[in-house]
Amino acid sequence: MDQTRLERVRALMKAQGLSQIVVAATASVYYLTGYWVEPHERMLALYLDTEGRAVLYGNELFGLTSTPELPLVVHTDSDDPVAQLAQAVRPGELGVDKFWYSKFLMGLMAHRPDVKPVPGSDPVDLARKSKDEAERQAMRHSSAMNDQVMAQAIAAIADGVRENELASLINREYLARGADCEGPQLVCFGPNGADPHHAPDGTVLKPGDSITFDIFTPISRYWCDMTRTVFYKTVSEEQRTVYELVRRANEAAEAFIRPGVLLSEVDKVARDIITDGGYGPYFTHRLGHGCGLECHEPPDVSSASHTPLEPGMVFSVEPGIYLPGKFGVRIEDLVLVTETGCEVLNHHPKDLLVVG
C-alpha cells in the first residue's frame, strides 16, 4: 500500500464529500496497492473509507496476500462475489468506480437497498492525474524508448513492405527495450491514414504514400505514445501544406502549455491554426488525452475540458488532418507540465521527411 498516495486519495474523498468508495480499475488498484490484477469477468474491489479502512476483495485465483495494512477478503468461483463486500459497506452514499462492472454493482444494490451508489472515480483519477517523481521518471524512460523504436520503424520502410509487417517489427523493438507486452500498433499507408484508428493490415506501401506511425506500449507499467507521419519517395504540394499545418499546430500548442491555462485553451491553440489554414473540418478529434498507467486516462484535452493545467500532468498533443480517400497526417508527443511550461517527452524530429 502506498500510504502517500492513499492519503492524497482520502483527502480528495473528503473534498468531494465521499466517505466510502469502491476502486475497481486495474490501474487504479495498482496505483494504491502495487497489485496488478487483470480480473477479466471476476471481481476485484478495493474498499476505502475516510476513517482509515482499506480492504481488498478478490477472487482467490488472483493469488493476492493479506497484510495488516491491507486485509484481503477472498471469494471463490462458486461464491457470490459481492456478498462479503455488501456486508462491509455503510448505509448511505457509496462512491463507485466507473469501471466496476454493472453486474457487481447491481448485485451489491440487491443486497443493500440502503446504499446509494454515486460516481466515485474522481478521487483516484485526480490523484493519478498528477504524476509523482517516480512516475515522471518512468514516463521519461518509456518515451525515450519510444524515440528509439520510432527511428527503427522509419528505418525499416522499404519497397513492398506491408503495414502489418512494420507493426510486428515495432512490437519486437519494444519487447527488446523492456515492454510489458505487445500491442496493436497503428501503421497507416496513404488513404488508410485518413482513418485515425486504422488497424494495420496487408496494405503494401506505394510511392507517394503518407505513412503514419502511432505507436504506444507500457514499459514497467507506464505508457509511451507518439505519432509521426513521413512520406514515401515523393511528397505532393497538398501533403506538404497539410504536414506543415499539423506540425505548426503541434508546436504552438506545446509552446502554449503552462500551469494555469485551461486544457480547452490548449486544444484551441492547435485547432485555430488548422482552421485558419482551411482544414478545420478535417481535424476530427480532441487534441489529446492523459497518459500514465493507462494509455488513455484523465485529463481529457478537448474543447469541453475547462480545467487548468497543473504541474505533474502528462498528456498527449496530437493534432491531425484526415482527408478521406487521400491521406492523413498526425503528429503526437507526450508532454509533462512543469512549474513554468512543459517538458516534451518525445525527441524524435518533426521535420518533414521523405523516405527512399
Q: Between 163 and 333, whose beta carbon lies closer to Mn ion?
A: 333
Q: Between 225 and 294, whose beta carbon lies closer to Mn ion?
A: 225
| 323 grid coordinates | 482527408
Least distance CB 153 / Mn ion (angstroms): 16
Q: Contact, 183 vs 216, CB < 8 A?
A: yes
Lateral strand order in the sheet of 297-301: 297-301, 288-290, 314-317, 333-337, 342-344
Least distance CB 118 / Mn ion (angstroms): 31
Least distance CB 14 / Mn ion (angstroms): 33
| 156 grid coordinates | 525499416
Q: Between 146 and 203, whose beta carbon lies closer to Mn ion?
A: 146
Beta strands 288-290 and 54-59 are unpaired
Q: Contact, 310 vs 337, CB < 8 A?
A: yes
Q: Between 57 and 213, whose beta carbon lies closer to Mn ion?
A: 213
Look up cell 482467490; give the residue: 60
* Crossing angle of helices 122-129 and 3-15, rounded to 10°: 130
Least distance CB 180 / Mn ion (angstroms): 18
Q: Between 125 and 225, whose beta carbon lies closer to Mn ion?
A: 225
Least distance CB 103 / Mn ion (angstroms): 31
Least distance CB 221 / Mn ion (angstroms): 17
Least distance CB 332 / Mn ion (angstroms): 5
Q: Between 82 and 224, whose beta carbon lies closer to Mn ion?
A: 224
Q: Between 108 and 291, whose beta carbon lies closer to Mn ion?
A: 291
Q: Between 225 and 300, whose beta carbon lies closer to Mn ion?
A: 225
Least distance CB 179 / Mn ion (angstroms): 16
Residues at the interface with Mn ion (CB under 5 A): 225, 316
Least distance CB 325 / Mn ion (angstroms): 24
Q: Between 97 and 125, whose beta carbon lies closer to Mn ion?
A: 125
Q: Contact, 283 vs 321, CB < 8 A?
A: yes
